[in-house]
C-alpha cells in the first residue's frame, strides 16, 4: 500500500512540475485580448545566452494572431536591431525566417540584480515576439533542430539541439492557447478583485 501511495504522490508532483498554463489573459481598453502561456528555457549549462520560448495569441473581433515569444538572458548587456530576424531550422530541414513583430530596437543595458545565497547576480534580458502564420505554426510543431536570432554586435544567438524537445512543448502550448481563444473571456482590471 505504501508503494502505491508513494507512486501516486510522485505522479502528482511530476504532473504539477510539468504543467503548462496560461499566465496572462486580459483585454485591453481597445478590446484587444492578449493571452500568454508560460515560457520555458532551452539551454545547456555552458550557454552564455539563455533562450526561453513560449507562445501567445492576440484576439480582436474574432481574428486570432499567434506569436512565438523568445526571451534571451545574458550576464552582459544585450540588444537586437529593429525587426530582428529569427531563423528556425526544422528537423525536416526546412528553414523559417521570422521577423520581430514590434519592429523596435530591443535592448537591456540596465539589467536586473538578484542576491542568490549571498552572491550578487546581474541578468540582462530582451523579449521578442514573432508573428506566426498557420503554416509556420505547423512547421514549428513538426520539430525544431536549430535556432539563430539576430543580435547587435559581433555575435548572434545560435543553438542546435540533437534531440527536439521544443516542438513537444510548443504543441502543448498551442493546444492550450487554441482552447483559451475559443472561450469568450471579457476580462477587465476589476475582475476577481
Q: pLDDT (tens digit, 9 = 90+) per residue, 123-153?
A: 999 999 999 999 999 999 999 999 999 999 8
- Phi, psi torsion values for 155, nearest 5 degrees: -120, 145
Report the chain's terminal Cα–Cα distance, integer Å.
44
The predicted pLDDT at position 159 comes to 95
Q: How confident is the model at residue 154 (pLDDT cuts 50, 70, 90)?
A: confident
The predicted pLDDT at position 184 comes to 73
Q: How many helices (H) and strands (E) does the chain have?
A: 3, 13
Query: CA angle, 24 as apex, 75 and 64 as ends, to 5°?
Result: 110
Amino acid at each position: 500500500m505504501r508503494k502505491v501511495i508513494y507512486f501516486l504522490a510522485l505522479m502528482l508532483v511530476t504532473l504539477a512540475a510539468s504543467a503548462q498554463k496560461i499566465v496572462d489573459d486580459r483585454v485591453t481598453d481597445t478590446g484587444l485580448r492578449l493571452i500568454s502561456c508560460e515560457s520555458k528555457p532551452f539551454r545547456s549549462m555552458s550557454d552564455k545566452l539563455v533562450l526561453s520560448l513560449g507562445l501567445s495569441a492576440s484576439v480582436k473581433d474574432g481574428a486570432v494572431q499567434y506569436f512565438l515569444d523568445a526571451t534571451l538572458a545574458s550576464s552582459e548587456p544585450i540588444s537586437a536591431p529593429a525587426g530582428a530576424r529569427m531563423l528556425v531550422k526544422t528537423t525536416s530541414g526546412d528553414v523559417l525566417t521570422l521577423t520581430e513583430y514590434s519592429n523596435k530596437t530591443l535592448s537591456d543595458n540596465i539589467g536586473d540584480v538578484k542576491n542568490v545565497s549571498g552572491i550578487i547576480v546581474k541578468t540582462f534580458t530582451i523579449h521578442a515576439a514573432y508573428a506566426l502564420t498557420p503554416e509556420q505554426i505547423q512547421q514549428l510543431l513538426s520539430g525544431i533542430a536549430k535556432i539563430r536570432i539576430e543580435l547587435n554586435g559581433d555575435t548572434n544567438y545560435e543553438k542546435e539541439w540533437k534531440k527536439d524537445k521544443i516542438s513537444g512543448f510548443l504543441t502543448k502550448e498551442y493546444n492550450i492557447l487554441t482552447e483559451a481563444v475559443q472561450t469568450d473571456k471579457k476580462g477587465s482590471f476589476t475582475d476577481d478583485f
